[in-house]
Amino acid sequence: MAVATCSRTLEQEYGIPTAPISTFEFADFLSQDLRFHGVPLRVIYTSHPVVGMPGSVLRGYIEGKDPATDLTVIDEVVEALTKPVSDLEFTGDFAPVSRTGVRQTLLEPDTENNLQRLFYDRGWTDGLPVVLPTEERVAEMLIGTDRAPDEVVAEIFLHDTQEYLQFTVEMVAIVGVMAGARPEHLPVLLAVASTGHPSIPGSTTPFASMLLVNGPIRNEIEMNSGIGAFSPRRLANSVIGRAWTLLTTQWGYLRLKKQFWTSQGNPIGYNNMCVAENEERSPWGPFHVEKKFPAKESVVSIFRGWSFVNNVVGSSQRSVGQDVCIQLGALPGLFSAATLILDPLVAWHLQQNDGFQTKLDFCHWISENFKMPASQFWGTDLIHMMMAPLAEKGVEPYASWKKLPGDALIAPYNNPENINIVVVGGETSPMWKVADFGYVVSASVDKWRAKPMRDGCADGSCGLPDEP
Amino acid sequence: MATLLRSAVLNPEAYRTVRAADSDRPSKTRSFSSLAPRLDRLNGKTIYLIDTGFGGSGRFLDQVEAWFAEHVPSVTAVRRRKSGSIFRDDTTDLWEEIREKGQAAILGVAG
């Protein structure tokens, strides 16, 4: 939390007394942060929320009580800067949070219903029943990889306790079982896990994530990239996407008001738009090849944003590009990030009729042709939070955009490289989705696969270099 | 009558471990001297009001600035938006400016 972090720096490295202010909603989080760092900052809490409140209300907050102390907020501000620090002032325990010891690996025997209840009560599920991870099921799941069960797949940084969480291949297999996955899905899950990215990051905002699979494994595990690819129908799409959120729960991201803050949440988190690209029906190169992977390699790619807008009946009165631009007007344009998910019919139309020979050609067209009034861009709080500092730092074009009159038109998707295009759909109608998702990372699936599955590739290599 | 599940069920939490981010950090309470010395009074001082960038912070600090103008007019309030990320301490130029020209800072608003 920047308020506390910056205050610590000013106090300890610059010798500047500070009065850090937070809304009371985050008091527990800040309290834990102070305890971890052992620096007794004089944090002042004000009523919540601050965002969107008129000046008169905010004045009332300042002259009103700190909900944590019942003292007047502005008096606390003055006192924080002037009252000498005394040994009597801070009596709290600033020692780090105690660690939990080694846990037993097997749960106490119980009935199916009670164990389901236990998993739910412990916060290990997504609210839906899970497949209980018995020893036999987990052992079978582990057939899907050659990796040792105790190999550490990745580390996750826990912001609330300032620790790194390490998790093993076996943990990913357990989660795979819980999600209903099969052994052949495990390499995809391990690839996702290896990125260390949660499907639901800690934020008060309704983050959403998307999982895209490319390469031969799509068809080997029968992922859907065609009709209804995003719909709840095909096993691989459903369970792989679900497993990512179950992993996220195991990583601690759904602990209420520890890492889980999203005020409304987002239903996309149930399976994270897990889908395969319809490479066979796309007129353009597959997404993972754009990211420098060989076409024969199987790869997962992660995208993150908040929202998407559907085109629901195609586009006959305007061009696809014009309609896409209208949809983009509803999205913030944060760092030029957008993801277009096009049915193959749309992709072919753009290539054959509109002359976009590559995905990037269309991205350039969008970048040049979508315009937004400067006031609309800067008036979006997300943009103000994330991009105004760049403008103030003189980074172009943001610095110039900031100086424009409000009605001046700007092209906020100024970086076409940050516009992603993937081809998904069953060609029953020329439709598409426009999302504010940015590309996060891609990871190889093949390096997590068991050898018998590799041998199943056409040339036996699956695009991998020879093993030493 | 419900029967016990025949197979043993694994505890998902047993397959993760934690390690401290900073194993060198002190495990005992730090000295209060880790805070900067406080001011004897605010009158005549220059106080930086730092907007960390979260929604509404600027308007909140407008009111803090107005309060000082009304109640402690000898305070010089300097308004600044923190440069860099709203989530990290990645600023040095502003901190240097405060050290050079200011005596205290009010930072807000988290949340």
**CA A274, chain centre distance (Å):** 13
Mean pLDDT, residues A265-290: 98
Single out the residue of B87, B65, B3, B36 nearest to residue A389, CA to CA.
B87
**Mutation to test the B interface, candidates A9, A14, A386, most B Cβ within 10 Å:** A14
**Mutation to test the B interface, candidates A5, A8, A16, most B Cβ within 10 Å:** A16
pLDDT at res. A306: 97
Quickly count: other Cβ atoms within 10 Å of residue A111's Cβ: 13
Half-sphere exposure of A157 (CA within 13 A, CB side): 4
Instruction: Please report which helix (H) or strand (E) contains residue B81, including its range.
Output: strand B76-81
Contact A62 B63 (CB under 8 A): yes
pLDDT at res. A96: 46
Does pLDDT of B42 surpass 60?
A: yes
Fold exhibited by the domain B44-111 = Rossmann fold (3.40.50)
Which tokens go with A103?
């846990």
Residues of B in contact with A48 (CB under 8 A): 111
**CB–CB of A223/A172 below 8 Å?**
no
A66-93 tens-digit pLDDT: 999 999 999 999 999 999 876 545 544 5
Single out the residue of A308, A311, A299, A376 nearest to residue A338, CA to CA.
A308
Query: A433 vs chain B: nearest CA distance in angstroms?
Result: 29
Tell whether A161 lies on the interface with B, counting CB pairs under 8 A.
yes
Residues of A in contact with B28 (CB under 8 A): 95
Contact B105 A114 (CB under 8 A): no
Q: Which of B21, B39, B103 sits opposite A163 (nearest CB)?
A: B21
B65-106 tens-digit pLDDT: 999 999 999 999 999 998 888 888 888 899 999 999 999 999
Contact B35 A10 (CB under 8 A): no
A185-216 tens-digit pLDDT: 999 999 999 999 999 998 999 999 999 999 99
Mean pLDDT, residues A254-269: 92
Residue of A nearest to B105 (CA): A18
**CB–CB of B3/A45 below 8 Å?**
no
pLDDT at res. A258: 84
pLDDT at res. B33: 57
Q: Specify the DSSP class assigned to residue A271.
A: T
Quickly count: other Cβ atoms within 10 Å of residue B19's Cβ: 11
Q: Give the model's confidence band at B40: pLDDT under 50 very low, under 70 low, under 90 confident, else very high.
A: very high
Model pTM score: 0.89
pLDDT at res. A257: 86
Which tokens go with A12?
């300890």
Q: Which of B3, B39, B111 sits opposite A23 (nearest CB)?
A: B111
Tell whether A138 lies on the interface with B, counting CB pairs under 8 A.
yes
Angle at B91 between CA B89 and CA B97, to 5 degrees: 135
Q: Give the model's confidence band at B110: pLDDT under 50 very low, under 70 low, under 90 confident, else very high.
A: confident
pLDDT at res. B27: 42
Q: Which of B59, B89, B102 sits opposite A58 (nearest CB)?
A: B59
A318-331 tens-digit pLDDT: 999 999 999 999 99
Residue of A nearest to B30 (CA): A38
Does pLDDT of B21 surpass 90?
A: no
Contact B67 A62 (CB under 8 A): yes
Does pLDDT of A1 surpass 90?
A: no
Does pLDDT of A445 surpass 70?
A: yes
Q: Give the model's confidence band at A232: pLDDT under 50 very low, under 70 low, under 90 confident, else very high.
A: very high
Quickly count: other Cβ atoms within 10 Å of residue B70's Cβ: 8
Burial class (CB in 10 A: 0-12, 13-18, 19+), A352: exposed
**Mutation to test the A interface, candidates B23, B42, B46, B54, most A Cβ within 10 Å:** B54
Q: Give the model's confidence band at B29: pLDDT under 50 very low, under 70 low, under 90 confident, else very high.
A: very low
Computed over every residue of chain A, the mean pLDDT equals 92
**How far apart, in whole angstroms, are the C-alpha atoms of residue A289 and residue A299?**
10
Query: A5 vs chain B: nearest CA distance in angstroms?
Result: 6
User: In Å, how far are A335, A403, B65, B84, B92 from A399, measured between CA atoms?
Assistant: 14, 7, 26, 14, 20
Q: Which amino acid is at A362?
A: F
For the ranges A94-108, A144-158, A412-426, which has the lowest average pLDDT? A94-108
Single out the residue of A419, A425, A230, A288 nearest to residue A346, CA to CA.
A425
Quickly count: other Cβ atoms within 10 Å of residue A313's Cβ: 9
A99-117 tens-digit pLDDT: 445 568 999 999 999 999 9
Structure-model confidence comparison of residues A261 and B47, the more confident one:
B47
Contact A95 B29 (CB under 8 A): yes
Q: Where are the domains of chain A?
A: 2-82, 109-306+444-457
A374-405 tens-digit pLDDT: 999 999 999 999 999 999 889 999 999 999 99
pLDDT at res. A464: 54
Helices (H), A332-447: 344-352, 359-369, 374-378, 381-386, 388-392, 398-403
Does pLDDT of A301 surpass 80?
A: yes
A29-59 tens-digit pLDDT: 888 888 777 788 999 999 999 999 999 999 9
A341-384 tens-digit pLDDT: 999 999 999 999 999 999 999 999 999 999 999 999 999 999 99
Instruction: Please report which helix (H) or strand (E) contains residue B96, including its range.
Output: helix B93-101
pLDDT at res. A223: 98
Contact B109 A50 (CB under 8 A): yes
Computed over every residue of chain B, the mean pLDDT equals 86
Q: Which amino acid is at A47?
A: S
pLDDT at res. A90: 53
A417-434 tens-digit pLDDT: 999 999 999 999 999 999
**CB–CB of A412/A314 below 8 Å?**
no
